[in-house]
Chains A and B, each alone.
Chain A
Amino acid sequence: DSGVTQTPKHLITATGQRVTLRCSPRSGDLSVYWYQQSLDQGLQFLIQYYNGEERAKGNILERFSAQQFPDLHSELNLSSLELGDSALYFCASSVGDGSRAYEQYFGPGTRLTVT
């Protein structure tokens, strides 16, 4: 158990819908990272937050947005869903702000299926 929790575990929804994925980082970790893992794209970095502020942006679509709240939990919002958004979405946390590398602790993931 990494200490990172993600909800829900599974999500099945229709195209065009909007969903919110939630992540609670490990106690004491200030950074949260979001990743998308699909069979054809591998593990793609989406976005990083540190102590409530966006720190780095990766291959995140404009239809997707995220935020980190004062209690450090984070939410990833996916809207206007398409079939290709079906994937495993992982949240990871680390103690650092990203300026120096620390290991990341991954949550169990949310499996999103868009039908």
Chain B
Amino acid sequence: SQQGEEDPQALSIQEGENATMNCSYKTSINNLQWYRQNSGRGLVHLILIRSNEREKHSGRLRVTLDTSKKSSSLLITASRAADTASYFCATDDWGTGNQFYFGTGTSLTVIP
């Protein structure tokens, strides 16, 4: 299965600190996306990085992709209490591009 795995499973930090979470996947991809989910609610798209890109920024978010290691990282800088949520990486299937595989998620708690 292509399903990714996020690491760590849970992360607790103080407001203002940086949070880093990692995603590993198994097979070749066209792109990788990161999503955020607040408890029991729908996922919200954060950022998309294509397989030919190595780094991408969006506001306080920085995503890196290493296709040789089949891994990605999401860095949230200067975290806020409102960043408390679960974060998922999603990869597509290189062959079809249609199916999306979500990882198991990292639960981030930002303590005010």
Contacts and interface: CB of A to CB of B under 8 A. Distances in A.
A48 B98 contact: yes
Given A101-B31, A101-B48, A108 B42 contact: yes
Given A43-B88, A43-B102, A4 B42 contact: yes
Contact of B102 (A42, A48, A103): A42
- Interface band, chain A: 20 to 34
Interface string A86-108: 00101010000011110111111
A19 B92 CA distance: 29
Interface string A49-60: 000000110100
Contacts of A88: 40
A45 B92 contact: no
Nearest to B47: A103
B33 A48 contact: no
- Interface band, chain B: 20 to 34
Contacts of B97: 98-101
A107 B43 CA distance: 8
Contacts of A106: 35, 42-44
A84 to B, nearest CB: 18
A110 B96 CA distance: 28
B96 A56 contact: yes
B82 to A, nearest CB: 17
A111 B104 CA distance: 19
A4 B104 CA distance: 23
B45 interface: yes
Contacts of B104: 42
Contacts of B42: 2, 4, 90, 92, 106-109
Nearest to A55: B98
Complex A-B, nearest 6 residue pairs according to Cβ-Cβ distance, in ascending order? A56-B98, A106-B42, A98-B98, A103-B45, A43-B102, A101-B31
Interface of B: 3, 30-31, 33, 35, 40-45, 48, 50, 88, 92, 96-105
Interface of A: 2, 4, 33, 35, 42-45, 48, 55-56, 58, 88, 90, 92, 98-101, 103-109, 111
